[in-house]
Structure 1
């Protein structure tokens, strides 16, 4: 059994990515999943001046240690105007300043959703590329389109998307066992 850390890049209290993350993390059988909220680690907007004058914020160090304590990650990324949210990018900026390879040795299942038909694909692709630069290995990624049409009452109602999620979960679970 592996320890898996699950979080979303959203800071919204009504995040659809959080709803999808909760659903997916409940389906990852045979592993211990710990869910956290990045909003529990508040950070200033990254600034070299802050870093120089005040150092790395303690919440960055705490978050980094939390990531290190887990074998794998489930990460849901949101999208604002065709890009990753400023909140999520800021967190990644701080983590990478604290330790360049903060994701080293981590196997990652990355997914995204949005109300639209693209399912936050741009943010998903950006995050997939950037996580590799910090030592992470994205095992699987999945873009979940049209959230409000395909996810209702806490369940995936589109059978094809549900099978797709099951496939990536199965592959991810198998990969983190090795």
Structure 2
């Protein structure tokens, strides 16, 4: 199984990146490819830009990575209750290739934050909108208070309930 994993964040020290890597690494017999959204940076989407220059090569590469994957693990950072500008722009450009950006791929959606909210607002938006963009969500998990529930040295979740949720999500993904 080829798994595409990424944080919906452009932060180089993203806690969502750490969470996505952790969860993807627990999928047995998977070839995991980690994407960095910084590799897909492009001008802010506008129809004027699209009409003048077409769809940027970075959006086409992002879409192709999804095409090549069997499953996807995304961990969403939350900026002001919603998606990061970096993710939203890449997504907007990719949706111009095909509205079904995620091409019916099975997915685990995650979100975390340093605070007790666990980025639940953005996770809810992503989960609720997934069917419109052909994302087959097998599970969505919010990890609150990241630094209390993730061991930075061992690079793993430490809270037993969250570990159980992750294991259940992985079982649902590979079933």
TM range (shorter): over 0.9
**4+ runs deviating over 6 angstroms:** none
- Per mean C-alpha deviation after superposition, the further-off stretch among 132-141 and 164-173 is 164-173
Normalising by structure 2, we get a TM-score of 0.94
- Look up the match of 2:11: 12
TM-score by length of 1: 0.92
* Structure 2 counterparts to residues 129-168 of structure 1, below 5 A: 129-152=128-151, 153=153, 154-168=155-169
Q: Which residue of 2 aligns with 1:169?
A: 170
SS in 1 for 2:128: helix
Stretch deviating more after TM superposition (124-133 or 11-20): 124-133
Give the CA deviation at 1:127.
1.1
Structure 2 counterpart SS, 1:137: strand
Q: Please list, as runs of the form range in 1=range in 2, the aligned pairs for 1:25-104 lying within 5 A after superposition.
A: 25-104=24-103
Provide structure 1 residue ranges, at least 5 long, that are not aligned to the other structure: none
- Quote the residue 1:108 is aligned against: 107
Q: Distance in 2 between matches of 1:136 and 1:47?
A: 24
Deviates more, 1:95-104 or 1:50-59: 95-104
Q: CA deviation at 1:142?
A: 0.5
Cα RMSD between the aligned structures?
A: 1.2
